[in-house]
Structure 1
Amino acid sequence: MVVRIAVTAVFISTALVSSALSSTQPSSGSCSSRPSIYTTTPGYTNPRDAVVADVLLDRIVFSDGVQVQSNEFVYPGQVLNLTYNGPLARFRMQNGPLASVGTPDLRYIEAEDGNSASISAQDRVMFADRMELAWANPNLNNRVQLQTQAGYGFIVGLQTQIWDSNFADDARPELFIFEDQGNSVLTIQALDDEFNNVGTPVEVRAVDIASINPTKVWVGRWNQDGSPQSGTYELKMASLDLSRLGVTHLKWFRITTQVQGGGEASADLKIVAVDTSPAPAAQTMTFD
């Protein structure tokens, strides 16, 4: 008799075991096999000139040759439980002033409720929604920027659950963290649907955030009045396989900037995920 068992059941079991055995101490590191990242800059031949407009993530090519196209990216669909107790005019959403993709202009967290003199609970809720909008598109210029050591924390919910292609660390990471200049520190903790910690937290440090291959990517920064800051800024990337987080599937995760052992806590972020699992038809194993 032929028995068909969906691999999904094995994935869930593995994730639960990982949760039960995981340590509370963050591990470290990015994927050892860094993918190649390709971008487009519509209307600009020189990518450095596009820092005022759109720097679009076009495709990801893994080291084994498998490609993920832009229509397959999985973006954050929710940002919840935002915490930030830092100074004013230091935490903002930004985009190029000439950008056509993503949320426009600059927006500071304290401006959300109409009173820029302080940061209220309403500011935090509304700014979390703005973070989700800034991340729900392929424009790498449209991102969140933090210019203080005060740090922040929040929960990210992806638009859809993603699955790993392999129980172990492999050549196809699923989570991509884009960060200005690669000099920040942040911790990523996988969560279940009830927001309980599962798996193993991973601390991403400067050593894990590297220049983008095969061509460096440049983004812009702007002053409080919206004028461009001088120069261009290199956008770097850390890629994480779900096995590093101790899980085989992921929808919810927490990001915090609590630093252990020194370093810069601020993190200027764009988050993109991919599902590297086989197509549904290939997720069924046959046993005779």
Structure 2
Amino acid sequence: MDMPRPYRSVLYIPASKERALDKARSLDVDAIIFDLEDAVTPDAKVEARDTLKAALKEGGYGARAKIIRLNGLDSAWGREDAEAMKDAEADAFLLPKVSSAADVEALAAIIGKDKDIWAMIETPMGVMKAEEIAAHPQMKGFVAGTNDLAKELNCRFRADRLPMITSLSMMLLAAKAHGIVAIDGVYNQFKDDEGLAAECAQGRDMGFEGKTLIHPAQVAVCNEAFSPSAEEIDLAERQIAAFEETEASGQGVAVVDGKIVENLHVETARKILALAEAVSAR
């Protein structure tokens, strides 16, 4: 199995702040979203493009995935963002408030058909059209925009996120159906490690690959939550060994800890070990 690219921690960095761009080079994050949208004030947006291009050209971000969040194409800056950044040294372009595959195609027409695109799913229409968005050939990842989505839904923030579970589940189903990455939304209280850990655990249990973060202080909690635990690695190794031994003997069924191990369990176990290896390599 190919080693997957981990996306446990995905940190937003303002594209206009040279100091933040430099600090990101030393942070233990799997991916960086270089933000030209919400994190940049209107009067700084044009200059931010040059600041970001210079930082990316300088490099030093190592194995971290480099994702540029553009302004929406319907904004005063989006199309010029795309034109200015299309040749930047980045791994993907993140489009906010995607509501249909047509939005993705509009970006592809500007940056080219060979570039990876990610989508912010943060509107009711984006949730409803998540499957068609995920099906676009250049679409490689979804990011849950939970703050904007909560505003659009007029729902309340709760620790269990019950009012948002349907929306999160729909975007996850679409992402999994088309084999793209799905990243959970931000946790706004960056000094609340306990609450962050709980929300990370919920997102991981649902099937998200990682979580977007608003502050470097959240990175360690997030990385731990989305990394395979020692117990998961041990169980995966024992499941694979038991299954292979049973297959080799041609007799009986594999059993680990009193539970039958079938091919689907082995497939999951191998994914866990591949992720653990990728995390270790990072």
Using structure 1 for the length normalisation, give the TM-score.
0.25
Higher helix share: 2
Higher strand share: 1
Using structure 2 for the length normalisation, give the TM-score.
0.26
Q: Which has the higher contact order (CA 8 A, sep 6+)?
A: 1
